Amino acid sequence: MELFVATNNEHKLLELAPALRGQLLRTPAEAGIKGFEVLEDGATFLENALKKALALHRLIGRPSLADDSGLAVDALGGAPGVMSARYGSPDGGVTKLDAATRNRTLLAEMETQERRSCAFVCCLALVLAEDRFFVVQETCPGELLRAPQGSGGFGYDPIVWLPALGKTVAELSVDEKNLVSHRGRACARMAALIADLEVLP
């Protein structure tokens, strides 16, 4: 299936492509939509993902896929959550901090916390028509470290430890990450759903 992905984030496309093998992923620019952006003001990952997918579908009328994801820390009541990409911004999210600065900000806030459980969350929304859409959401639970470890991945990957694997997310190979990450798991669910859709009349 040809899917137009509602994002300008190249990292997301790089992670989605191998996890959605067999699907032809296109950018909004390839549909003639330059500078595609949607205000991500939802209270949940689901609201943001569906809003982005619907917005792109309304512009191009083609199957549209959107991802919204982030890190939820239990001791912070689920924060950074939907604000993950804008976390720590001094102006409420207008100016995004780089990943290393966001990580330092989060670790400083968690410095005195002994409860370190957290989870990456990924919601994928696929819109085929205004009233026909499918949503999956998956998690990758872990523990927040006290200092970054590993040079792979991006975002919060270096500070999230996966006890079952004895590694941070930033130390996983691409194949390992596709198997256990929040986005990899969500993509596996979505790929199965798409395969089922493609055999329907």
Give the confidence band of 106 by pLDDT, cuts at 50, 70, 90.
very high
Range 2-198 classified under CATH 3.90.950.10: yes
Domain ranges of the chain: 2-198
Provide the β-strand partners of residue 137. Answer: 123
**pTM of the prediction?**
0.92
Exposed / middle / buried, residue 193 (Cβ in 10 Å: 0-12, 13-18, 19+): middle
pLDDT at position 200 is: 62
pLDDT at position 22 is: 84
Give the confidence band of 17 by pLDDT, cuts at 50, 70, 90.
confident
Mean per-residue pLDDT, 34-63 = 95
Mean per-residue pLDDT, 180-199 = 90
> Left, alpha or beta for 27 (phi > 0: left; psi -120 to 50: alpha)?
beta
pLDDT at position 199 is: 61
Choosing from 68, 98, 175, 196, the catalytic residue is 68
Instruction: Judge whether 68 counts as a catalytic residue.
Output: yes
| Nearest residue to 122 (alpha-carbon basis) of 20, 30, 49, 196 | 49
| Nearest residue to 130 (alpha-carbon basis) of 53, 69, 186, 196 | 53
pLDDT at position 123 is: 98
Q: What is the pLDDT of residues 133-187, one digit of tens each?
A: 999 999 999 999 999 999 988 899 999 999 999 999 999 998 898 889 999 999 9
State the chain's mean pLDDT as an integer: 92
- Which residues are within 8 A (CB) of 133 and not within 5 positions of it... i.e. 6 or more apart? 50, 53, 54, 125, 126, 127
Mean per-residue pLDDT, 73-98 = 89
20/128 Cα distance (integer angstroms):
17
The answer to whether the Cα torsion of 40, 86, 188, 139 is positive or negative is negative
